[in-house]
Structure 1
C-alpha cells in the first residue's frame, strides 16, 4: 500500500515539474475560492494542509470561507467564527468571507461578520436551496454594495438557469462586485450573454473539466477571469495545471496569465480599480484525436462516480486504460495517461482495506488527483 502511494506521489511530482515549467516567471498566485472546515458530505479542509499547499506552490493569498458544516444552524455563526479565526491565524494570507443562509437572518449575520473583519460574502444556492428570483437576495446585494465587499456565488452543477436573475441583481445593485464560481458552468452561455464585458462581474476557474474551461475562455474576457482551486475539492498541481494549460491553449499570453493567476484578484482584494474588460480569447472548436476524446469521455463519466464511490468507477477507468492501448502518434501521451490510470485503479482496489473514514477520504482524493491529471492530459496535450 505504501509503495503504491509513493508511486502516486512520484507521478504527481512529474506534473509539479511541468507546472513549474509553464508558470510565468515569478508569477504571483491568488486563490479566490477555497474552504476550511468540515462539510456534511465528509470533505475536510484542513488549515495546516492548506498552509503547506500554499507555501509549496507560492500562493500568496486566498479568499476563504467555510463548508456546508454540520453545525451550520443557526446562520453559519459557528462556522463563520472559525473562518474569522483562521484568517487571524494566517496573518493576512487568508481573506475571510462570511457564508450566509437566506433562511436564517442573513443580514444580521453578514453585518456581524463584516464588522468583525470579513471582507466578502459567500452564497451557495444549491446547498441552501434558493434561486436567483429570491427576494431575500436584494438586501444582501445592497449590503455588499454599501460595504464595498464582493459576493462569491456558486455557479456550478445542481442549479437551474441563473443568468437572468443574477444580471438583474447586478443591474439593480451596480456597486456590488460579483464573483461567479466554477466558470459559471450552470448557465455559461447566458451568463456570457448578460455579463461578458461587464466590469464588476468576475468568474473563477474552479471546475474540473478542461473542456468547460476552453469553452469558458472563448466567451468571457480574460480581465473577468480569476484562478481558483475550490480546495479541498480541488487539489494541486491539478487546479493550477488545468487553468494554465487550457488558458495557454486558448491563446492567453503572459499578461493574461498573470492577471488570471493574481493580478485581478489582488486589485479586488486591495480595493483598486478592476481592469476594463476586453474581448474573449479562444477558438470555438477543439482539435483532438478520437482516441484522446474517448479517454476524456470515460474519465468525465468516471469522476462523479468516484466522488460517490460507485463500483462502476473502475469499469469506466478500465475503458480509458484500454483505449490507451492503441499505438499511434499519440503514444507518448497515452502512455503517461495509462500510467496515471493504472495507479488510480490499483489505489481503488485497496480502498476496502482502509477502515477509517479519513483514510478512505484521503485515498479517494489521491485517486481523483491521478484521474484529473490524466484528463487534463487527454484534452490539453
Structure 2
C-alpha cells in the first residue's frame, strides 16, 4: 500500500502555502521519522520510492529512514534500509532498528554503524521491552561514542520511560536521544529536565494540537525536530502543524527553519547542535486555553 493519506494532504495546500511564505525560501527540510517495511502487524507498509515520492510532493529534501516492525527480526530489514539509503542520492539517511531482546542486538548495532547507519531506532511497544534496560544502555553508549542519535518511540502504548531517558542522557552526553511523537508518553515530567539536557530532543510526528502546543511552549526550539511518521500519513499536514505551532508560541522564522531540517542534519552528522534560545514558556499567550486540561481530555 502506498503512503496513506497522501492524496488527502491536498486539503491543507493553501493553508500550508501561507506558512511557507512566513518561513521563507530555500529551506532544507529533513524529516526525522520515516519507515519502510512490509510485515508490520498493524497493516501499514511502504517502499523507499514511496517515501521519496511523498517528500517530493511536499517539496522536502531528506528524511531519516528505518525499518517498520519486523516480527521475525531486523537484520534483513536493516540491510534493505541501508541499501535504499545508499541508492537514494542522499535523500534518505539510515537508522538501524535494534530489538534489545535479540541475542545479537549489540553485534547488530556495531555492524550497522560500520555499514553506514547514522544511529538507531528503538521501539519499546512493538518490540516489548521496558526501561531501564542494560542492552539499551549499551546501545546508547555506543551512539554516544559517535555523537549519534537514538530515536525512541515515545507515543501511546508504552510504560513510563521518562526517568530512564533522563538518566541515559546524563550518563551519555554524546548521544542524542530523540523522543518520537512529541514525547507525549512523558512530556510533562521530562520537560523540566530536558531544558538542562540539550541531548534530549523531541520529534513532531504527532497530530493533537494540545500536545504539540505544549511541546513548543515548554521545550527549547533547538530540541525540537520536524517529523512526519511516513507512511502513516502524508508530510504536508505535519509540516503545516509544525509551522502553525511554532508561530503560535512566538518562534521566529529562523528558529522554525532550524526545526524544519538544519538541526536534524547536525544530529546525524555528529556536529554541535544549534542553540536556538529558551522555550517560550507555558504562559505564552494562546488565547483562552488551558493546555494541561486539553491534554487530559484528548
Q: TM-score, normalised by structure 2?
A: 0.88
The aligned counterpart of 1:366 is: none
Higher relative contact order (CA 8 A, sep 6+): 2
Aligned to 2:89: 91
Which is greater in Rg?
1
Judge conservation of contact 2:48–2:84 (CA < 8 Å) in 1: yes
Residue 259 of structure 2: aligned partner: 260
Alignment of 1:185-224 (within 5 A): 185-224=184-223
CA distance in 2 between counterparts of 1:169 and 1:49 reads 35
Tell me the distance in 1 between the aligned counterparts of 2:49 and 2:164: 38
Secondary structure at 1:44's aligned position in 2?
coil
Cα distance change of structure 1 residues 164 and 283 upon mapping to structure 2, 3 Å threshold: closer
Q: Give the length in aligned residue pairs.
A: 285
Change (3 A) 1:131 1:288: same
Q: 1:9 to 1:187 in 2, by over 3 A?
A: closer
Q: 1:126·1:158 contact (CA, 8 Å) conserved in 2? A: yes
Gaps of 5+ in 2: none
Residue 278 (structure 1) shift: 2.7
For the 8 Å contact 2:216–2:249, the answer to whether it is kept is yes
- 1:47: Cα distance to partner? 2.1
Structure 2: distance between partners of 1:256 and 1:9: 25
Q: CA deviation at 1:133?
A: 1.5
* Of 34-43 and 10-19, the range deviating more from structure 2: 10-19
Match of 1:367 in 2: none
Contact kept? 1:197, 1:220, Cα under 8 Å = no
1:140 maps to which residue? 139
For 1:249 and 1:269, the matched residues in 2 are separated by 28
Which structure's residues are more often helix, by fraction?
1
5+ long unaligned stretches in structure 1: 290-295, 302-381
Structure 1 residues 13 and 263: alpha-carbon distance in aligned structure 2, compared to 1, 3 A threshold: closer
Moved more, 153-162 or 17-26: 17-26
- Mapping 1:85-124, distance limit 5 Å: 85-104=83-102, 105-124=104-123
